Structure 1
Amino acid sequence: MSLLDLGIRYPIIQAPMAGVQDCALALAVSAAGGLGSVPAAMLSPAELRRSLTLLRESGLGPFNINFFCHHQQELDPAEERRWRQTLAPYYAELGLAADASVSSPTRAPFNAEHAAILAEFKPAVVSFHFGLPAPELLDRVKSWGAKVLASATTVAEAHWLAEHGADAIIAQGLEAGGHRGHFLSDDLSLQQGTFTLLPQLVQAVNLPVIAAGGIVDGKGIRAALALGASSVQMGTAFLCCPEATTSALHRAAIQSEQRHHTALTNLFSGRPARGIVNRLMRELGPLSAEAPAFPYASAAIAPLRSAAEKRGCADFSPLWAGQNASGCRALPAADLMAAWLAEAGLA
């Protein structure tokens, strides 16, 4: 897949990042010649339609619309009780009732309603995390000519995606911020860094491979392209842009010494995701067997997060970020991209 196939001028894809962006960042990146992305897994059908309408009315594009493809389990009440018991001391500390709740978005896997809404707008690119949707849903997406991108964290996952209809593979290295895209095995020891995974995937599949994880500047872009990537996907580097909705607490962590210590944690959602280590991760350990299955862990965390953030504290907030936040600057997305392209020799 060449850049022409994606309809973009430069080999930069903005990673879809739920919770820290809306359409503004995607619009800025696409306007600057990259591929702007919108995370849709936490949007209601009405919100998804509003976002797609805004993108279409902008006259810009193309855009990437991203969804999750996890197999949603039923909530286990016993797991929920154990999780709340684990968190009980924090509830008491913040003066919260044991059964306190806060309304928060759900994380729905891609379904027929999503596909029907997309069909009205026909986005040029649709991407998936945690595998691919059911064949009939994937066929619906591809029916209007959309290119399908999907994340792989191992060679085995890349082979699976290539065999099941992906048009390009996102090589998600272990450095990447946010949720791991693994779907064939939960064994995190199978996962590799970007610059070891990337050349293996380039050799393993006859599809374009997009490098993701730890790439925050022009030097990283140049290195990824030299190793055979068709383009790069960058997320953490955009977090401090004015177009991002990253909270003040999150921005402060990224711009502090805290950014040098990240870990994979399941405490905030029930599934491993990389973020800056905070109090909850230190005290419970970043990976806990007590956390309910994805996405249910977040329900009991939400009241703690809300109460702490009102006090100016990020002890219970997911501070998603990759291992390298050195390129994260408070500049407009277009200015950042221009600097990266010049450094990479692509301007």
Structure 2
Amino acid sequence: MSQWPDTRILDLFRIELPIIQAPLAGATTSAMVIAASNAGGLGSMPAAMLSIEQLREELKTIRQHTQRPFNVNFFCHQPPPPDEQRARDWKNLLEPYYRELGVDFDAPTPVSNRAPFDNAACEVLEEFRPEVVSFHFGLPEKSLLDRVKATGAKILSSATTVEEAVWLEQHGCDAIIAMGYEAGGHRGMFLSNDLSSQVGTFALVPQIVDAVNVPVIAAGGIGDARGVAAAFLLGASAVQVGTAYLFTPEAKVSASHQKALRTAKESETAITNIFTGRPARGILNRVMRELGPMCDKAPAFPLAGGALMPLRTKGEADFSNLWAGQAFTLGVEMTSAELTRRLAEEGLAKLVRQ
């Protein structure tokens, strides 16, 4: 695979294929990470929904089954201050669904959480020393970031605008993920909350490539070899692919999510804050349609999901986040290893023919 027009990511991460399996919190398993890395790409283990003990066990499993480089991903948001009134208003808005489904509205509301990167997580990284560490929503405080760098890890983070990309380079990123508006899951935006600032992949990647000196990884709407080739023609040094990996047997995806991925129309995704309080792209379902994908009453990230948890026990597909990017209809059922290799082999073949 030495014919790639830009090998900076291959050299930086010491991988064979410029394919990064996106860290899909809640869906990624250690088996997926191992398969993607052993195939020559870069597997990515998401940590935001794991306890420290779970994270340690996952990394132990990965280290036992691959000698290849892999990535560990963390959120680095600031937990919001308590806002009991907003929490009550949000649950009151959902009350008709509780009554309809026969769910106890007066029961204590579960806590929905995503753990931000902290000292305990940093200690796990110092123990296992993964080759790559990536962050979402910017970067952690400098003292923590310096400790991660001291392990020898290369640092990645997502930029959704040129301004964010420049900021990330200035603050120590070794490479930048250019996250287009098409991407599934949480938007990586961190310098602005304005969704109108968000840019599509085709426009974003070349502008970030021109604005920074570090290599750029394209993400968003890349579901097959055509997207891989297009990303390189736009100046990317690698691609990060997420939704396509949800079709692999290594993915941990609910039956309702699987069904939505295979039956929804290509136009049926939207950016929503209903499930966590922060904008994320998923397949439309009942609660998104009836409340509107973006709802100003949703509590701040990551607290919005708590009041929805009891509803999922009775109506999972209607009240669960069904994360997916806009290219989800390109998904094909194959193993994570097969997907990693096919994206690279067929993508390179298209580039060579140019």
Point out the more displaced range, 274-283 or 50-59. 50-59
* Partner secondary structure for residue 307 of structure 1: coil
C-alpha distance in 1 between matches for 2:29 and 2:10: 24
**Residue equivalent to 2:218:** 211
Letter in 2 for 1:114: A
Mapped pair 1:81 → 2:104: no
Q: Shift of the alpha carbon at 1:11?
A: 0.5
C-alpha distance in 1 between matches for 2:194 and 2:285: 24
**Residue equivalent to 1:328:** 331
C-alpha distance in 2 between matches for 1:288 and 1:195: 28
Which residue of 151, 157, 173 corresponds with 1:150?
Answer: 157
**Residue equivalent to 2:283:** 276
**Residue equivalent to 2:346:** 343
Q: Which runs of 5+ in 1 are unaligned?
A: none
Mapped pair 1:21 → 2:28: yes
Instruction: Give the CA RMSD over aligned residues.
Output: 1.4
Which residue of 143, 147, 155 corresponds with 1:140?
Answer: 147
C-alpha distance in 2 between matches for 1:211 and 1:80: 37
**Residue equivalent to 1:248:** 255
C-alpha distance in 2 between matches for 1:102 and 1:163: 41
Q: Shift of the alpha carbon at 1:39?
A: 0.6
Letter in 2 for 1:61: R
Point out the more displaced range, 170-179 or 244-253. 244-253
**Residue equivalent to 1:53:** 60
**Residue equivalent to 2:195:** 188
Which residue of 241, 262, 279 corresponds with 1:234?
Answer: 241
Mapped pair 1:315 → 2:318: yes
C-alpha distance in 2 between matches for 1:338 and 1:120: 30
Letter in 2 for 1:121: F
* Partner secondary structure for residue 85 of structure 2: helix
Point out the more displaced range, 322-331 or 5-14. 322-331
Alpha-carbon contact 2:44-2:70 (below 8 Å) kept: yes
* Partner secondary structure for residue 223 of structure 1: helix
Letter in 1 for 2:73: N
Q: Shift of the alpha carbon at 1:154?
A: 0.4
C-alpha distance in 1 between matches for 2:111 and 2:349: 41
Q: Shift of the alpha carbon at 1:58?
A: 1.1
**Residue equivalent to 1:69:** 76
Alpha-carbon contact 1:209-1:229 (below 8 Å) kept: yes
Q: Shift of the alpha carbon at 1:188?
A: 0.7
C-alpha distance in 2 between matches for 1:189 and 1:253: 27
Letter in 2 for 1:125: V
Alpha-carbon contact 1:253-1:259 (below 8 Å) kept: no
Q: What is the count of residue pairs matched by the alignment?
A: 343
CA 1:7–1:105: 2 relative to 1, 3 Å: farther
C-alpha distance in 2 between matches for 1:139 and 1:257: 44
Q: Which runs of 5+ in 2 are unaligned?
A: 1-7
**Residue equivalent to 2:5:** none
Task: Among all aligned residue pairs of Structure 1 and Structure 2, give the percentage whose two residues are the same amino acid.
Answer: 55
CA 1:102–1:64: 2 relative to 1, 3 Å: farther
C-alpha distance in 2 between matches for 1:39 and 1:105: 17
**Residue equivalent to 1:118:** 125
C-alpha distance in 1 between matches for 2:237 and 2:341: 19
**Residue equivalent to 2:3:** none
**Residue equivalent to 1:262:** 269
Which residue of 102, 111, 115 corresponds with 1:108?
Answer: 115
Letter in 1 for 2:160: T
C-alpha distance in 2 between matches for 1:21 and 1:104: 22
C-alpha distance in 1 between matches for 2:324 and 2:293: 14
C-alpha distance in 2 between matches for 1:44 and 1:61: 24
Point out the more displaced range, 133-142 or 1-10. 1-10
Letter in 2 for 1:278: N
Alpha-carbon contact 1:258-1:276 (below 8 Å) kept: no
Alpha-carbon contact 1:101-1:302 (below 8 Å) kept: no
Q: Shift of the alpha carbon at 1:334?
A: 1.8
C-alpha distance in 1 between matches for 2:178 and 2:108: 37
Q: Shift of the alpha carbon at 1:221?
A: 0.2
* Partner secondary structure for residue 125 of structure 2: helix
**Residue equivalent to 2:170:** 163
